[in-house]
């Protein structure tokens, strides 16, 4: 027999408000230590210079990470005009300068051109892989990194404030793969200047919002009183967009064994009516549904021909 993996079987999501100057990996490790959890992961990297919503999955919730990664995101950020840096944020060295400071009216007029499906070249300092290597590793090693443009979706883009001539505060809603730093670069070029992101905060990832997020200090305080699990959100939190079907304990037993269950006509019709295009991690989940028993999430299944066949099953180990 193999060695048992250390840690406790803790299942659920932590809606963490990641602090500045901490990597996403470090944040996951900190949360995992607090819970002494066997397994943990996060739903979308936040740079050390960014704060805000970092959903962290524990235990069986890690099976739903791809769904959270595909969820829409909202970022609030500050652009500093007149200086473009190597990293397109405040961490890098200034490589281009401009004396142009766009007026509020000009900024607002330019925003519509960046909403919808647009072509965007990711920053050289990004986690995208180039021939097996992370782009940021190559850039830091002094190599020239040329990334191809790709199509991203910007759902909304709004100018919130211009507190001073050098600064503009914006909010962007976007899909997976969009870069705030690239948006700031391209917007500046459109306005005849250069810029970088001076501050960045993620305020939403799907159902996870900043106003309900918990800080590491708050989580540690709860842990000192043996109350850390009060901060846990259900495994199904990341599956809010999936239609649900309520099943019996016998049906839950079958699904956990990998068997299909027969749907009642009203269940099958309801799931068919709720069907929508959903591509998660490159797979078609348009027929997917969440099977729920009285004890919680049982499985993500595919509804087809009057049956629900398990795709991902949740196993509730408790020791």
Give 186-232 pLDDT, tens digit per residue: 999 999 999 999 999 999 999 999 999 999 999 999 999 999 999 99
Q: How many CB atoms lie within 10 A of CB 169?
A: 16
CATH 2.30.130.60 positions along the chain are: 242-313
Res 2 pLDDT > 60: no
Going by pLDDT thresholds of 50, 70 and 90, the confidence category of residue 295 is confident
Q: How many CB atoms lie within 10 A of CB 250?
A: 10
Q: What pLDDT does 123 receive?
A: 86
Q: What pLDDT does 68 receive?
A: 95
Q: What CATH architecture is 242-313? A: Roll (2.30)
Q: What pLDDT does 5 receive?
A: 58
Catalytic positions, please? 47
Q: What pLDDT does 1 receive?
A: 42
Single pTM value for the model: 0.91
Res 319 pLDDT > 50: no
By C-alpha distance, which of 210, 137, 226, 122 is closest to 171? 210
Distance in angstroms (rounded) separating the CA atoms of residues 133 and 232: 35
CATH 3.30.2350.10 positions along the chain are: 12-71+208-236, 73-204
CATH no., domain 73-204? 3.30.2350.10
Q: What CATH architecture is 12-71+208-236? A: 2-Layer Sandwich (3.30)
Cα angle at 237 between 231 and 238, to 5 degrees? 125
Q: What pLDDT does 38 receive?
A: 94
Mean pLDDT, rounded, of the chain: 92
């Amino acid at each position: 027999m193999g060695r048992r993996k250390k840690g406790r079987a803790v299942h659920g999501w932590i809606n963490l408000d990641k602090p500045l100057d901490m990597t996403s990996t470090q944040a996951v490790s900190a949360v995992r230590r607090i819970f002494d959890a066997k397994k943990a992961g996060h739903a979308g990297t936040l740079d050390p210079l960014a704060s805000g919503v970092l959903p962290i999955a524990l235990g069986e919730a890690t099976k739903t990470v791809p769904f959270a990664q595909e969820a829409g995101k909202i970022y609030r950020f500050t652009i500093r005009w007149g200086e473009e840096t190597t990293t397109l944020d405040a961490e890098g060295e200034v490589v281009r300068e401009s004396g142009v400071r766009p007026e509020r009216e000009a900024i607002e007029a330019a925003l519509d051109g960046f909403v919808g499906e647009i072509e965007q070249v990711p920053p050289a300092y990004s986690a995208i892989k180039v021939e097996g290597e992370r782009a940021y590793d190559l850039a830091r090693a002094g190599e020239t990194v040329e990334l191809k443009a790709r199509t991203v979706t910007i759902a909304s883009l709004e100018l919130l404030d211009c507190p001073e001539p050098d600064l503009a505060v914006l909010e962007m809603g976007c899909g997976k793969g969009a870069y705030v730093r690239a948006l700031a670069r391209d917007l500046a070029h459109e306005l005849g200047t250069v810029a970088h992101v001076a501050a960045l905060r993620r305020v939403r990832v799907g159902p996870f919002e900043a106003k309900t997020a918990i800080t590491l200090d708050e989580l540690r305080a709860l842990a000192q009183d043996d109350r850390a699990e009060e901060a846990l959100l259900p495994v199904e939190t990341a599956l809010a967009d999936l239609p649900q079907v309520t099943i019996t304990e016998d049906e839950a037993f079958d699904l956990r064994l990998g068997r299909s269950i027969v749907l009642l006509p009203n269940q099958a019709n309801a799931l068919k009516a709720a069907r929508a295009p959903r591509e998660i991690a490159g797979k078609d989940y348009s027929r997917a549904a969440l099977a729920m028993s009285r004890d919680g999430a049982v499985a993500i299944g595919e509804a087809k021909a009057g049956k629900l066949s398990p795709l991902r099953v949740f196993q509730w180990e408790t020791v």
